[in-house]
Amino acid sequence: MLAVLFICGGLVAIYLLLCVTVLKIPKCKSTAKLHGKTVIVTGANTGIGKVTALDLARRGARVILACRNESKGLAAATDIKRETGNNDVFYMHLDLASLQSVRSFADNFLKKESRLDILINNAGLLAGGKTEDGFGMIFGVNHLGHFLLTLLLLDRLKESGPSRVVTVASLAHLWGNVDFNCINTHKDLGLGNSSMVLLKLYGHSKLCNMLFTHELAKRLKGTNVTCYSLHPGAIKTDINNNCSLFWRLIMIPAMFLFYTDVQSGAQTSLYCALQEGLEPLSGCYFSQCDVGKVPAKARDDAVAKKLWEVSESLCGLA
């Protein structure tokens, strides 16, 4: 009995140590004010995106909540206005699973807004199925939608500089790869719809996010626009809502024990968007409000360039 208590005590001590070290995400300490600045946050009606938008609105920014669900987007805008006292917070419809919706959003934004200082590509999902254009859902939303959105808004970002593009990637990139044969043949990053396959596809899409940022930084050299990708941490969000019941039952205890809150999850996004002096680090990957280590596959020039060219073709830009 004493041995069992000793083991349990040791496990609790290890867990508490993890909570204050590995699982603890530093807070963004920037005091930057954003009066006169305009920001877009995709997927800002919930989770990390909403907290990010709330912080930026509190700093005085004009914030566009780019969301698919109108009722949730409008409700989030109302919440943020009430909490911050900033009335320059607006919902605009954006469905990243439709390239036409992405184009319509960009067109409407460019007609209505004279500047864009920060674009935060935050939205992401872990779900099967196909997009409106026949792409794998994860590939289409997590990568292609944001790819097209960024390119359509790039001139406005350049006009408003210094400006930044922040893309929320994930540590999941570590198990990701890019299979161009599968993309060309099936318009997807892989095949299958099981929970484990979807998790792999998610990792592939997050590697795409990082390769996109790597290539974007190279193409932005000499401009006043910089870009960054990041891992938000293991965060309790609703990203698993579209997964199977079996997968959610597996994830619930893990999320309870090892995942942290959305306020913590927004900190590295805010750091990349606001921290002074990051310009020389354009194209880098961040974790816990600091530059993170990147495997060779996430900074492969040839793969990044090919992914860019393939993405241009798939989005009808080439």
Tell me the catalytic residues: 202
* Type of residue found at 305: K
Whole-angstrom CA distances from 228 to 48, 63, 93, 273, 311 are 17, 19, 25, 9, 19
168: tokens are 């929320």
Identity of the amino acid at 158: K
For 24-90, give the secondary structure using H, E and C: CCCCCCCCCCCCCCEEEEECCCCHHHHHHHHHHHHCCCEEEEEECCHHHHHHHHHHHHHHHCCCCEE
Backbone torsions φ then ψ of 292, nearest 5 degrees: -100, 160
- Give the SS3 label for residue 318: coil
Measured CA to CA, the distance from residue 106 to residue 149 in angstroms comes to 7
Cα of first residue to Cα of last residue in the chain, in angstroms, is 69
Q: Which residues pair with 226 in a beta bridge?
A: 164
